[in-house]
Amino acid sequence: MELLLSDEVLAVLVPIVVYWAYCGLHATLGQSMYMDKYRLHPSSHEDSKNRVSKRQVISNVLKQQLVQVAMVAMVMMFKVKEESAISTKTSYLKLACQIAVAMVWFDVWQYACHRIMHTSRFLYRNLHSWHHRLVVPYSFGALYGHPVEGFVADTIGGTAAFLVSGMSPRASIFFFSLCTVKVIDNHCGLSLLPNWDRLSFWNSAAYHDVHHQLRGGKYNYSQLFFVVWDRIFGTYMPFLIEDKGEGMLQAPLVIYLDMQDVHLNSPISHIIKAQQHMHL
């Protein structure tokens, strides 16, 4: 019984349970008409506009999770051997620092992988285009993609974040579960807290939805927690959360004009300044 409930086993299995349980919660909430006003796309578009069926998406995600189980299990096994004679007690401050390091590392890794997948025509056509078959993202399609990309971006990236941070298997249960919840939130298609979408550093469903739009494919590469990498490397695409007047929201792209080409007192200059102020 102790073996089944060991930290190492839980670190492998809990994030998978969290994934499907949280996706199930989103799917259940999504059936309520009261959630329509938070949608970025009509629910019917999940079938009509996407180029892959939900059955195929579920099958793909399950296969990728099997690979993740094998990889993480091996890492945990070696980690246990190395720390068998070391006390597992960790202060809360040290734990917080480890989680922070892992978040930043994984975020940078994901941004780099995602951007490379878009800038290389070969990699996009043969690997990353799978994920963009989901024109309208939804919760349990968060991990849908080519298995090779999933292994490099998610499995290797997450494992590296775990090792670099030095966290214990018990701490990794929380970290990987947090990553799981966040990637689902970013793909759920619901902007439940629109005001949060205006935060200049935090990723969200609306932020990532811009990336899935036709004109947003070269922007908003940040994947999980923060959007500062897009700002630092010049791939940030601003957007506004607007009520479509049909009980739904939308995240239209904001295309800035060069202020030098606009008269300072013209009406459009005030609009641009207002938009810029909203995204500072």
Q: What are the pLDDT digits (tens) for 221-262?
A: 998 898 889 989 988 887 777 676 655 566 666 654 343 433
Does residue 61 lie within any of the structural domains?
A: yes
Per residue in 110-151, pLDDT (tens digit) is 999 999 999 999 999 999 999 999 988 889 899 999 999 999
Q: Which residues pair with 239 in a beta bridge?
A: 253
State yes or no: pLDDT of 195 exceeds 80: no
Instruction: Let me know how long the chain is.
Output: 280
d(CA 156, CA 152): 5
Q: Where are the alpha helices (DSSP H) in the chain?
A: 7-30, 45-48, 54-82, 92-119, 121-126, 147-149, 157-165, 169-187, 205-212, 228-232, 267-278
Q: Are 230 and 221 in contact (CB under 8 A)?
A: yes
Give the model's pLDDT for residue 272.
Answer: 33
Give the model's pLDDT for residue 34.
Answer: 74
Give the model's pLDDT for residue 264.
Answer: 39
Does residue 15 lie within any of the structural domains?
A: yes
Average pLDDT over every residue of 264-274: 36
d(CA 127, CA 61): 15
Does residue 84 lie within any of the structural domains?
A: no
Q: What is the share, in percent, of the chain residues with pLDDT greater than 70?
A: 75
Question: Domain limits at 13?
Answer: 7-77+91-277
Does residue 85 lie within any of the structural domains?
A: no
Does residue 96 lie within any of the structural domains?
A: yes
Q: Are 128 and 8 in contact (CB under 8 A)?
A: no
State yes or no: pLDDT of 80 exceeds 80: no
Does residue 1 lie within any of the structural domains?
A: no
DSSP 17-64: HHHHHHHHHHHHHHTSGGGGGGBSS-TTHHHHT-SS-HHHHHHHHHHH
Does residue 208 lie within any of the structural domains?
A: yes
Number of domains in the chain: 1
d(CA 221, CA 228): 10
| Average pLDDT value for the chain | 79
For residue 249, give the 3-state DSSP assignment: strand
Give the model's pLDDT for residue 254.
Answer: 62
Q: Which of 250, 110, 247 is nearest to 183 (CA)?
A: 110
Does residue 209 lie within any of the structural domains?
A: yes
Residue 261: partners with Cβ closer than 8 Å, 6 or more residues away: none
